[in-house]
Structure 1
Amino acid sequence: MRVTEVRVRYENRPHAANPIRDALQTLTGGGSVHVEIQTDDGLVGVSSSSFGRGDGAPRSLAVLIESELAPVVVGQDAAEIGAIIEALKVQTEYYGTFGLPTFGISAIDVALWDLLGKAHGVPTYRLWAPYRDRVPAYAMVGWSNYSLDELKQVAVKAVEQGFRGVKMKVAASTLDEDVERISAVQAEVGDGVRVMVDANQVLTLDDAVLYASVFADLGVYWFEEPLRADDIRGYAELKQRSLTPIATGENLYSAREFRELFEQRGVDIVQPDLRRAGGPTEIRAIGGLAGAYGIPYASHGGGPAALSLLMSVPTATWLETGLRSSERSFPLLEDGCALAPTGAGFAWE
């Protein structure tokens, strides 16, 4: 099962009239990059990765995959995924594997695992010794640019669609306004729905401690990424001083960075991002570390590949996704849980 071709294309996302916003950034532009890996027996593995804030970002990633990564993959045994990923890390070492190259490696990795699942005629997660076939799901719906009424309406819609939790952005204005918005959402969704909050790295340690204390009184389920992602020592101190569980990890790269976070006891809920962490191969190692340290694991972002990984992580707790566009759209929910993909590879049905 030799790789004969790697095809790459990209597309830009139309600019929204009212772009979504958090405390750190306004998400305009960007788009997605799509990869197809074909083998000599006719199988094709695919991946699709949302990428970037600017219009040039998707093209930049597509060019890197096509010019730097694809030549390394062509001719390789598609089943030897670990060896291919290590070769890609060597290929990108000269200019730094973390950052843009990791997004490219992740896209290749997802397509290879999709292909391997198809080769065996099973959902890929079945190849990973799964622990479960479903996981609780929450919807990231509470962007900072939403008015209070818009925020309440979208949170209620998420609950009506069957989600067990909702997440909203904080720290874009004042703590008092955050309290008002959180309290309003909690009143709308009711006691049985978890409310998570995300500060997107903008707070100092002292401010984060203050926010965490206030959020604890409100019963916030977790406080996500209050500090810079690379401030591991800061997270270790914050976790000791916080009465609200601390979540982070979406902006870390590789199992080595997550190992340092775990060793420093800097997190209550870890949240690897499929694209930045390094793809399924690297995330399976991160999931094993989370299990060894007894740290709950929640995805950053959704999609069939992220959901599949949650099936095989011992301490998996939550899938993050957005609102569903229809009753048959991803993910399928049952009693607040996202059901594992049922199609071959990462095809979710």
Structure 2
Amino acid sequence: MKVKEVRVSYQNRPHAANPIRDALQTLTGGGSVSVEIESDDGLVGRGGSSFGRIDGAPRTLAVLIEEILAPKVVGRDAEQIPAIIESLKVETEYHGTEGLATFGISAIDVALWDLLGKAHGVPTYQLWGAYRDRVPAYAMVGWSNWTIDQLRGQCAAAVEQGFHGVKMKVGAPTLEEDVERIEAVRKEVGPDIKLMVDANQALTLTEALRRGHVFQELGVGWFEEPLRADDFEGYAELTQRLRLPIAAGENLYSARQFREFFERRCCDIVQPDLRRAGGPTEIRAIGALAGAFGVPYASHGGGPAALSLLLCVPTAIFLETGLRSSADGFPRLENGYALAPQGAGFEWE
């Protein structure tokens, strides 16, 4: 099965009237890039990437894929996915593979694995070998720009939909503000719902330690990305000094960076991002490393591809997603667990 054509399109999202915000930035809209890879027998695999901000990013990435990556994919054996992905890393090494190049490689990787699953007529995770057919799911529903009443309402909606965990943003100008919001959510959802907090790299080590000690007394489930992503030394110290589990990894690139992160004991829970980590091929290696180091694994972001990977990681503990759009929307929940996708490739149904 040969790759016949790679098609790329992009779309910008209109700016929201009240854009969501975390402690680091306002996510004004950005947009998305879609990739279709057609084989010589007419099958089509689909992948893509998204941006929460930077209006020019979707068009820029689309050009990078069309002019640099796609020519290296057309004509290749579509079943030799790791070889294709490695060649794209080599092709982008001169100007740097991290950043936009990795976003593009990830989108192609998703499309190739989607194509291969469809070629075999099975969900892609069945090609990898799964540890489970479901994984616990939580809803990220706690943006910083929401009032306390809005925050409580969104968390209550997540519980009503069947989620057994919720996550909210912290890193407000004062610790007191963070505490007020955490206590309001805990009162709303009750003691049995797992509550996680995310500071989006906004804190210093000293402040992260100060707030972390308070958060752990409030029964928080984990403290996500309190420091800059590249502060490995700070993460190692924070993980050692806090009882509260530290979750991080969404802004790391490649299995090599994750290997160092694990070796230095920089986190209690690792959270690869499908776009930045390098796509399913690279995340499978990261998942194997997490298993070897005994580090619990939770996705950053959701979708059928992220869920499919979680099913195949030995230490997987949580899928991140948002509120479900409908009773039939992704993910299908049963007793707080997201059930495995049923369609061929990464198709939800």
What TM-score do you get using the length of structure 2 for normalisation?
Answer: 0.99
State the distance in 1 between where 2:64 and 2:303 align.
Answer: 23
How many pairs are equivalent? 349
SS of residue paired to 1:132? coil
Find the counterpart in structure 1 of residue 338 from structure 2. Answer: 338
The amino acid across from 1:57 in the alignment is A
Q: Is the 8 A contact 1:52 1:58 kept in 2?
A: no
SS of residue paired to 1:94? coil
State the distance in 1 between where 2:37 and 2:121 align.
Answer: 17
Find the counterpart in structure 2 of residue 54 from structure 1. Answer: 54
Q: Is the 8 A contact 2:268 2:296 kept in 1?
A: yes
1:13 is the counterpart of 2:13:
yes
State the distance in 2 between where 1:276 and 1:49 align.
Answer: 10
Find the counterpart in structure 2 of residue 37 from structure 1. Answer: 37
Cα drift, residue 343 of structure 1: 0.3
The amino acid across from 1:254 in the alignment is S
What TM-score do you get using the length of structure 1 for normalisation?
Answer: 0.99
Find the counterpart in structure 1 of residue 86 from structure 2. Answer: 86
State the distance in 1 between where 2:34 and 2:174 align.
Answer: 40
State the distance in 2 between where 1:28 and 1:178 align.
Answer: 23
Find the counterpart in structure 2 of residue 113 from structure 1. Answer: 113
State the distance in 2 between where 1:185 and 1:11 align.
Answer: 35
The amino acid across from 1:36 in the alignment is E
Q: For structure 2, which runs of at least 5 residues remain unmatched after alignment? A: none
Q: Is the 8 A contact 2:21 2:27 kept in 1?
A: yes
Find the counterpart in structure 1 of residue 3 from structure 2. Answer: 3
The amino acid across from 2:91 in the alignment is Q
State the distance in 2 between where 1:145 and 1:131 align.
Answer: 38
Find the counterpart in structure 2 of residue 75 from structure 1. Answer: 75
RMSD: 0.6
Listed one character per residue, the Cα deviations across residues 270-306 of structure 1 (whole Å, up to 9, x for unaligned) are 0000000000000000000000000000000000000
SS of residue paired to 1:145? coil
The amino acid across from 1:34 in the alignment is S
State the distance in 1 between where 2:299 and 2:235 align.
Answer: 19
State the distance in 1 between where 2:135 and 2:74 align.
Answer: 36
The amino acid across from 1:235 in the alignment is Y
Find the counterpart in structure 2 of residue 266 from structure 1. Answer: 266
Q: Is the 8 A contact 2:105 2:279 kept in 1?
A: yes
Q: In the TM superposition, what are the counterparts of 1:106-145 in structure 2 within 5 Å?
A: 106-145=106-145
State the distance in 1 between where 2:110 and 2:195 align.
Answer: 30
Find the counterpart in structure 1 of residue 206 from structure 2. Answer: 206
Cα drift, residue 29 of structure 1: 2.8
State the distance in 2 between where 1:186 and 1:52 align.
Answer: 28
Listed one character per residue, the Cα deviations across residues 91-128 of structure 1 (whole Å, up to 9, x for unaligned) are 10010001110000000000000000001000000011
Find the counterpart in structure 1 of residue 252 from structure 2. Answer: 252
The amino acid across from 2:32 in the alignment is S
Of 29-38 and 278-287, deviating more is 29-38
The amino acid across from 1:229 in the alignment is A
Aligned-pair identity in percent equals 75
Listed one character per residue, the Cα deviations across residues 165-219 of structure 1 (whole Å, up to 9, x for unaligned) are 0000001321101101001100100111000000000111111111110001000
Q: Is the 8 A contact 1:222 1:244 kept in 2?
A: yes
Find the counterpart in structure 2 of residue 239 from structure 1. Answer: 239
Moved segments of 4+, more than 4 Å:
none
SS of residue paired to 2:93? helix
Cα drift, residue 51 of structure 1: 2.0
Q: Is the 8 A contact 1:35 1:107 kept in 2?
A: yes
Find the counterpart in structure 2 of residue 150 from structure 1. Answer: 150
